[in-house]
Chains A and B, each alone.
Chain A
Amino acid sequence: SQQGEEDPQALSIQEGENATMNCSYKTSINNLQWYRQNSGRGLVHLILIRSNEREKHSGRLRVTLDTSKKSSSLLITASRAADTASYFCATGSDNYGQNFVFGPGTRLSVLP
């Protein structure tokens, strides 16, 4: 299966701490994206990293991609209560057609 799998399934940290979430996948990909979903809301695109990139930054977000290990990590630095949400990784691949495949998500709780 192409599906990405996020790890851990749930994460609880204190405000100001860093949060790291991981995503693993099984087949070759063209790119990997991270999305955030606040409770009861739609998905918000955070960052896309292509298969020929190893690291990408956007504000307090840092994404790494290791194609040899078929894994990616999302780091949120100096977390805030507003970062509380579910985070999904999605893989895109020519082999899988035009759609993305999402994992079950990591539920992040940032405690004030």
Chain B
Amino acid sequence: NAGVMQNPRHLVRRRGQEARLRCSPMKGHSHVYWYRQLPEEGLKFMVYLQKENIIDESGMPKERFSAEFPKEGPSILRIQQVVRGDSAAYFCASSPPRTGAGETQYFGPGTRLLVL
């Protein structure tokens, strides 16, 4: 059973370009979470999605950032018109259908975004 997969592992963009980060959850998992980790800091929640639904986007910046989890295919975190401050590691986690709050989340290896 493959774990959570993210690609690309490393992404370099110039200011103003778009960044697309992909996340394939573990088999059987229908919940996806995106987190951002700035250097020397802990993870910060961004968004929680189920298939075709955004459940909680309270941690997502209001502009330039969007996320989706289509019926088919991976979850996508999209950052438009990137700025240097977007440079960070972006982690995706998945969990099975919830039976209660806060079930175990399984993390992918992360995508390290560098904005030049």
Contact = CB atoms under 8 A, between A and B. Distances in A.
B56 A98 contact: yes
A45 B102 contact: no
Nearest to A107: B40
A102 interface: yes
Nearest to B47: A99
A88 B105 contact: no
Nearest to A86: B42
Nearest to A40: B112
Contacts of B4: 42
B100 A30 contact: yes
Interface residues of A, number: 26
B44 A102 contact: yes
B91 A43 contact: yes
Interface residues of B, number: 29
A42 B101 contact: no
Given A99-B56, A105-B42, A48 B104 contact: yes
A30 B105 contact: no
Contacts of B106: 45
Nearest to B105: A100
B45 A100 contact: yes
Given A97-B58, A98-B55, A99-B48, A33 B104 contact: yes
Nearest to A92: B102
A98 B48 CA distance: 7
Contacts of A35: 107
Contacts of B12: none
Interface of A: 29-31, 33, 35, 41-45, 48, 88, 90-94, 97-105
14 contacts: A41-B110, A42-B107, A42-B110, A43-B43, A43-B93, A44-B107, A45-B106, A92-B103, A97-B56, A98-B101, A99-B56, A99-B59, A102-B43, A104-B41
